[in-house]
Chains A and B, each alone.
Chain A
Amino acid sequence: MSATKDQYDLAVIGAGPAGLAAATLAAQRGLSTVLLDEQEAPGGQIYRAITRTPLRNPGVLGPDYWHGAELTGPFRDSGADHLPGTTVWSVSRDLEIGLSRQGAARILPVKHVILATGALERPFPIPGWTLPGVMGAGAAQILLKASGLVAQGNVVLAGSGPLLWLLAWQYLRAGARIDAILDTTPRENWRAALPQLGAFLRSDYVGKGVRLLFEVRRKVKVYSGVSELKALGDGRVQMVSFRQGDGEEWRLPADTLLLHQGVIPNINLANAIGCAQTWDETQRCWTPQVDAWGATTVPGVAVAGDGAGIGGALAAEHRGRLAALDALLRLGRIDRVERDRSAAPHRDALERAQQGRDFLDTLYSPAKPFRVPPDDTIVCRCEEVTAGQVREAVALGCSGPNQTKSFLRCGMGPCQGRLCGPTVTEVIAEARGVSPAEVGYYRLRPPVKPITLAELASLPKSEADVAAVLGRH
């Protein structure tokens, strides 16, 4: 365990590829740096448990996973402090970080912050998605990486996007069973993605991706053009039903249904700090507004990696290094010429890593019924609010996500909109006949993760704090 100081030049929040790379470079170049991370070990979700996975056969997770070890080694030797198992619940405009660790809260002042909060799986609202036994494909991948656990019984994967196919490939490598893959990629996406095919064919994605797809398709029954997907069961999922296009309804037994339709930036902390955000029409998600170095509209706060727009793990590490170089400039350690000179190789690498991304974004853009679900589907899992209730509220004059809170408590549960926000934006936009950009998003406020009153009460108090409460002068 690293010793901790009372303050730092730089705090990096999140220990995935962007955070590890940013903290490593910053510390190597002399900034006093702390990496704060919710997990017990570095790696983020993409390299989850990279230093401690129980999987002894490296062939199961594949070489892209093991690349993560090339980030954790240099980080360990960089001189940066590492605070694992730490929840960041607030960052103030004065760059004071509110954090909780081992049941106690504290405030940590810093001079610059890089948010490397990464991505989360895009909500996949279908009837029955709250039933036990229905999980994210990313969740199953975390169980595989961190614990060597695989689903047993009838296992069905459904959705679209690279991670769904990667998980299927890893499951097959591990000797696990998959009954079927229900591919929800809309057929018309292929036509839309065609103009970007050239760049994709020149990218690093193509070789690996095609090989992986063929291997999975050879071994697993794949249903394409899937629509009207439902999870059915009493007390837990027992069956999935779906159609292919306008065809008749299929039913398959399922003990586990793993859903995935891409990932979106985890924006909660950036939003709560007050960083301006924009609606990304291609990736269909909210993204903090950043410049070429990841700097947000709030002075001293940058976002690096997928948290600033999905670019993938390799792009994330280069974006982390660029944000760290910009931090060095802003803290007066290097000048602009030195920043730009040092950034050149990382910019080139970033460009290579992002090649072909547009093709994947367009091809795997989720079908509308899975983003804007029918009335009977729960959109807010915490408060159990359906799409139909949101539409009724719109008819009563509710114009945006913040008002759905007062109308329906929608978005006010413990997940703080993480699993409903994008859906609520799109449902309201469709009902009002306006763009998601016009509808907007929840205004989030700290604490961005729940903390107990006991944790808050454990905060160190100054004499001024005590005087303010007790009214003494």
Chain B
Amino acid sequence: MFQRLPNAAAERVPFTIDGRPAEAQAGDSVAAALLANGVQTCRATPVSGAPRAPYCMMGVCFDCLVTIDGVGNRQGCQVRLEPGMRVETQDGKREIGL
């Protein structure tokens, strides 16, 4: 649970989280935008299904992996939020598409 400091506002950026409309601001990474929107878990692990959320915010831990605009396993903390982005949380292993 993270909140924006009152004097740190910037231009609003609309995007979606699992299809729901959401809003964050210019300069946010995707992982920061998820935290700012109260998202508690961004994926379940492929090994045990345990919930995970961003841990390092600097591209090291790979716990903030999410699907962005249809591409899976992107590091949310390393991708800058863009208007209209479709961000989806991930659940366990990926299915092989046919």
Asked if A371 is at the interface of the complex by the 8 Å CB criterion, the answer is: no
B contact residues, total (Cβ < 8 Å): 41
Q: Are B5 and A138 in contact, CB atoms less than 8 angstroms apart?
A: no
Q: Are B4 and A148 in contact, CB atoms less than 8 angstroms apart?
A: yes
Q: Can you list 13 A-B pairs, Cβ within 8 angstroms, ordered by A?
A: A53-B27, A54-B8, A54-B27, A120-B58, A121-B56, A121-B60, A130-B50, A131-B51, A139-B54, A149-B5, A150-B5, A383-B47, A452-B71
A305 to chain B, nearest CB (A): 15
Q: Are B61 and A146 in contact, CB atoms less than 8 angstroms apart?
A: no
- Knowing A120-B60, A384-B47, A415-B61 touch, does A148 contact B8 (C-beta < 8 A)? yes
Q: Which of A8-66 touch B at CB < 8 Å?
A: 38-40, 45, 49, 52-57, 60
Residue of B nearest to A176 (CB): B5
Asked if A209 is at the interface of the complex by the 8 Å CB criterion, the answer is: no
Interface string of B1-28 (1 = CB under 8 A from A): 1111101111000000000000001011
Residues in chain A near residue B47, CB distance under 8 A: 382-384
Asked if A391 is at the interface of the complex by the 8 Å CB criterion, the answer is: no
- Main secondary structure on chain B at its contact with chain A? loop
Q: Are B8 and A384 in contact, CB atoms less than 8 angstroms apart?
A: no
Q: Are A148 and B40 in contact, CB atoms less than 8 angstroms apart?
A: no
Asked if A142 is at the interface of the complex by the 8 Å CB criterion, the answer is: yes
A contact residues, total (Cβ < 8 Å): 56
Residues of B within 8 A of A (CB): 1-5, 7-10, 25, 27-29, 32, 35-36, 40-41, 45, 47-48, 50-63, 65, 71, 73, 77-78, 80
A72 to chain B, nearest CB (A): 16
A381 to B63, CA, bound (A): 9
Asked if A413 is at the interface of the complex by the 8 Å CB criterion, the answer is: yes
Q: Are B52 and A132 in contact, CB atoms less than 8 angstroms apart?
A: yes
Interface string of A132-170 (1 = CB under 8 A from B): 111110111011001111111100000000000000000
Q: Are B1 and A153 in contact, CB atoms less than 8 angstroms apart?
A: yes
A259 to chain B, nearest CB (A): 9
Residues in chain B near residue A235, CB distance under 8 A: 40-41, 51
Residues in chain B near residue A450, CB distance under 8 A: 73
Asked if A228 is at the interface of the complex by the 8 Å CB criterion, the answer is: no
Q: Are A57 and B48 in contact, CB atoms less than 8 angstroms apart?
A: no
Interface centre among A49, A139, A236, A255 (most CB of B within 10 A): A139
Interface centre among A60, A134, A136, A176 (most CB of B within 10 A): A136
Interface string of A345-387 (1 = CB under 8 A from B): 0000000000000000000000000000000000001111000
A5 to B58, CA, bound (A): 28
Interface string of A235-261 (1 = CB under 8 A from B): 110000000000000000001100000
